Amino acid sequence: MAKRILIVVGIPHFDYSNEKSAVCSFLQTIKTAVEAEGHLAYFPTENNEHFLTGGDQNISFKERLINSIKKVLKGFPWLYHSFSMKAHLKEHDKLIQQVKAGEKYDQIIEFYTVGSELGKQLAELWTCKLSVVYDAPVDEQFLEMHGTKTYYWTEIQKREKETLEKANKIMAYSPECKSYIIKRYEIQSDVGILPCVVSKPWVNNAPAADIFNLTFIGSFLSWHKVDLLVEVFEELRSVIPNLRLQLIGYGEEWESIKHLINKKGLEENVDMPGFVSESELLKYKKNSHIAVMPGSNWYGSPLKLFEYAQSGIPFIAPETPTIQSIFKSGEHCRYIDASNEVKSLCEEVFFLYQNPSLREEMAKRAKQLIEERYCEKRYTSKLSEILL
């Protein structure tokens, strides 16, 4: 019998139609997987007249005053993020009430984010199953992003614990992620292992010979270490003729990376277009000689590495447990030695530059791995098996 399944993320005013969002793309992948099994899948904005997609447009004097105070408090991170988290949790509570006022569903699938108890409360209200996609240890991720804890630190930890212990099924991105939550919480449910993969249009990699393109595609976040790639690019320009750097995407580190490039006088040799359309992105992929993910956290699922492999782009990656559980060193990619990242990345880029046939064979094996294990049909089937 077909079930009515609600797919949610606990972020207030979240735009489920944002094509630039990796989370949105993955939620759509979940929706496709659910519907392929004959069920009806919904986002909160669909078929739910009680759900509000935007906030109150009438900003009061009090709210304007609070916003002004927040600007001042940015120099005091703990206070600033405590205020921000208080506001976030308040809006999150409104979100819960809005969704509760809507229609009842047979199952909830939640992509878990910081401070959420949306899935848990809905499952309790409707006495239905709850499946959780465990994207990150939210306290650790918050600390990485903002460099501080907040007044609500124990609250966000408690909410993650309660959601995971309530869940009937959990999806973790790697064996390390599964081990982490089992050790930390009293997990009663099945925990399936599957990396986060989003099927996107792909292109056959065929770069021109006159320019050697070194490429990063993704979010400009601190743990992606785009500054490391800039430093390596500067060092290699003297030994790789016509070397060019392509930094595609956007994020909170974009402005600082732009400033770094200008400070080093590299702006004429670096492309930083920000977000680009899918058609433009395909052009960058086609013309890339080597793609690099300079850094990641231990738990992150390497979305962009799947994209590189799918398009046959040879790539270099950080030695994280999650990435190493998917791609084999030397067979599918080259790895950066964490003990000396700049030296290691310089050596790996130069090695692949000098060995075009080797990088071509490595890229072929990575592409074959994706086609065999993570093609859309096989992946959505596995996704359904874990979450439904």
Give the model confidence (pLDDT) of 15-36 as tens digits. 999 888 889 999 999 999 999 9
Long-range contacts of 136-140 (CB under 8 A, 24+ apart): 136/297, 136/299, 136/300, 137/180, 137/184, 137/299, 138/112, 138/113, 138/114, 139/114, 140/297, 140/299
Q: What is the pLDDT of residue 23?
A: 93
pLDDT tier for residue 200 given thresholds of 50, 70 and 90:
confident
Average pLDDT over residues 235-257: 96
Give CA 352 to chain center in angstroms. 27
Long-range contacts of 20-24 (CB under 8 A, 24+ apart): 20/275, 22/198, 22/219, 22/303, 23/111
DSSP conformation class of 364? H
Which of the residue ranges 128-137, 202-211, 283-292, 346-355 would you say has the lowest mean pLDDT? Answer: 202-211
Cα–Cα distance between 235 and 214 in angstroms, integer?
13
Kindly list the distances between the CA atom of residue 383 and the CA atoms of 24, 195, 311, in Å, as whole numbers in the listed order.
Answer: 16, 10, 23
83 pLDDT exceeds 50? yes
Give CA 39 to chain center in angstroms. 26
Give the number of other Cβ atoms within 10 Å of residue 65's Cβ.
Answer: 10
53 pLDDT exceeds 50? no
Return phi, psi of residue 193, to 5°.
-105, 120
Q: What is the pLDDT of residue 199?
A: 79
Cα–Cα distance between 311 and 76 in angstroms, integer?
44
Which of the residue ranges 61-75, 146-160, 321-335, 353-367 would you say has the lowest mean pLDDT? Answer: 61-75
Average pLDDT over residues 349-354: 98
Helix, strand, coil shares, percent, the chain, to 5? 50, 15, 35
- Check if the beta carbon of residue 339 is closer than 8 Å to that of residue 306: no
- Check if the beta carbon of residue 24 is closer than 8 Å to that of residue 8: no
- Three-state secondary structure of 132-187: EEECCCHHHHHHHHHCCCCCCHHHHHHHHHHHHHHCCEEEECCHHHHHHHHHHCCC
Give the model confidence (pLDDT) of 85-134 as tens digits. 999 999 999 999 999 999 999 999 999 999 999 999 999 999 999 999 99
Q: Which residue has the tokens 């072929």?
A: 364
Tokens of 377: 């049909």
Helix (H, G, I), strand (E, B) or coil at 272: strand
Give CA 358 to chain center in angstroms. 30
Superfamily of domain 212-375: Glycogen Phosphorylase B; (3.40.50.2000)
383 pLDDT exceeds 90? yes
- The answer to whether 4-193 and 212-375 have equal CATH topology is yes
Q: H-helix or E-strand containing 51?
A: none
Q: What is the pLDDT of residue 85?
A: 96
Cα–Cα distance between 367 and 365 in angstroms, integer?
5
Q: What is the pLDDT of residue 60?
A: 63
Q: What is the pLDDT of residue 61?
A: 64
Overall fold of domain 4-193:
Rossmann fold (3.40.50)
Average pLDDT over residues 234-252: 95
47 pLDDT exceeds 50? no
45 pLDDT exceeds 90? no
More reliable by pLDDT, 47 or 69 = 69
Domain boundaries in the chain? 4-193, 212-375
- Check if the beta carbon of residue 70 is closer than 8 Å to that of residue 88: no
Q: What is the pLDDT of residue 67?
A: 67
pLDDT tier for residue 56 given thresholds of 50, 70 and 90:
very low
Kindly tell me the burial class for residue 241, based on how many C-beta atoms sit within 10 Å of its own C-beta (0-12, 13-18, 19 or more): exposed
- pLDDT cut 90: percent of the chain above it: 84
Question: First and final CA of the chain: distance in angstroms?
Answer: 13
Among 314, 379, 320, 324, smallest CA distance to 351 is for 314
Q: Which residues contact 88 (CB under 8 A, 6 or more apart)?
A: 12, 114, 115
| pTM to 2 decimal places | 0.90
Give CA 202 to chain center in angstroms. 19
Q: What is the pLDDT of residue 55?
A: 44
